[in-house]
Chain A
Amino acid sequence: MIRERVVFDCNVFLQALLSSRGPAFGCIELARAGDVAVFVSPYVLQELRRTPQHPDLKRFSRLTAESVELFIVDLMPKMHMISNVPEVFAGCRDAKDNHYISLAIATDSNFVVSRDNDLRDLMNPTGSEAREFLRHYPRIRILEPGAFLREVALSRTIDAPTPELPGREPDRGREIER
């Protein structure tokens, strides 16, 4: 069975905490159901706790430290916590995004899910950093939440059992490569 290995930007978690209407929530639902393997680190959780403290988010009076903790505690049993992440990647435009790529490398993840343009631009080969990234880590894809959901849905469709036709060998399925 294919089970994607994935690193979520802290804002995928935060957007799912705030709204059940969008693709970020769908990503977290996949994690909750155990359909994808999600890797987190203390750094990711630190960002998840810190971002809601921004003054612009005070407009949501019910967004409290307690609601964030409740969300984290509920999700943690479904997450894979990686405490020591070797910081091997240094090619992001915003150096504070490097950790997400290092976490993906350390966990052999296939996907980093983020809306962050500094991360997503690593998939655009017109930049020299991106070309280096794509050359060294061709198996890591950086996608927005919606694109990631489509990717997972597509892989499940491909993997769904094909009805046996006369004279045709049944599909044997495929194993996850990592």
Chain B
Amino acid sequence: MSMYVTISPRAEHRLLDKARVAGLTPETLAARILEEQLVRPSIDEALKPLRDEVASSGISEDELGDLLEKAKHEMRDEPPVGRSA
């Protein structure tokens, strides 16, 4: 799909600058930025499986809050190590 869009002089300046640094044409960079914004899932979409898992566990918001407070305090007492979550 090809289209014609108008951008502000400030955005044009930044686009030209970034394209030059990246070694791309402004058209290629603009297409990449647009593609990334439209195709990349939003943070809420990305976190939906996790939030669904939490919701389906049946835990209430208050219970979740209490669980997190307990976890925070107990983890503060743990020596720092390079564990992954």
Instruction: Report whether B84 and A65 are in contact in the complex, using a CB–CB cutoff of 8 Å.
Output: yes
Q: How large is the interface on A (under 10, 10 to 19, 20 to 34, 35 or more residues)?
A: 35 or more
Q: Which residues of B contact A59 (CB under 8 A)?
A: 57
Interface residues of A in 3-58 (CB under 8 A from B): 10-11, 14-15, 17-24, 47, 49-54, 56-57
Instruction: Report whether B46 and A53 are in contact in the complex, using a CB–CB cutoff of 8 Å.
Output: no
Instruction: Report whether A56 and B64 are in contact in the complex, using a CB–CB cutoff of 8 Å.
Output: no
Task: Name which of A66-74, A124-132, A153-161, A166-174 contacts chain B.
Answer: A66-74
Q: Which residues of A contact B44 (CB under 8 A)?
A: 20
Partner pick for A51 among B43, B49, B72, B84, CB 8 A cutoff: B72
Q: Say whether B74 faces chain A, with CB atoms less than 8 Å apart.
A: yes
**CA gap between A71 and B65 in the complex, in Å:** 18
Instruction: Report whether B75 and A50 are in contact in the complex, using a CB–CB cutoff of 8 Å.
Output: yes
Given contacts A11-B72, A53-B83, A96-B76, contact A24 B47 (CB under 8 A): no
Instruction: Report whether A62 and B61 are in contact in the complex, using a CB–CB cutoff of 8 Å.
Output: no
Binary A-proximity of B43-76 (CB < 8 A = 1, otherwise 0)? 1101101110111010001001111111111111
**CA gap between A17 and B50 in the complex, in Å:** 8
Q: Say whether A115 faces chain B, with CB atoms less than 8 Å apart.
A: yes
Instruction: Report whether B85 and A19 are in contact in the complex, using a CB–CB cutoff of 8 Å.
Output: no
A interface residues (Cβ-Cβ under 8 A, vs B): 10-11, 14-15, 17-24, 47, 49-54, 56-57, 59-65, 67-68, 70-71, 74, 94, 96, 115-117
B interface residues (Cβ-Cβ under 8 A, vs A): 43-44, 46-47, 49-51, 53-55, 57, 61, 64-76, 78, 80, 83-85
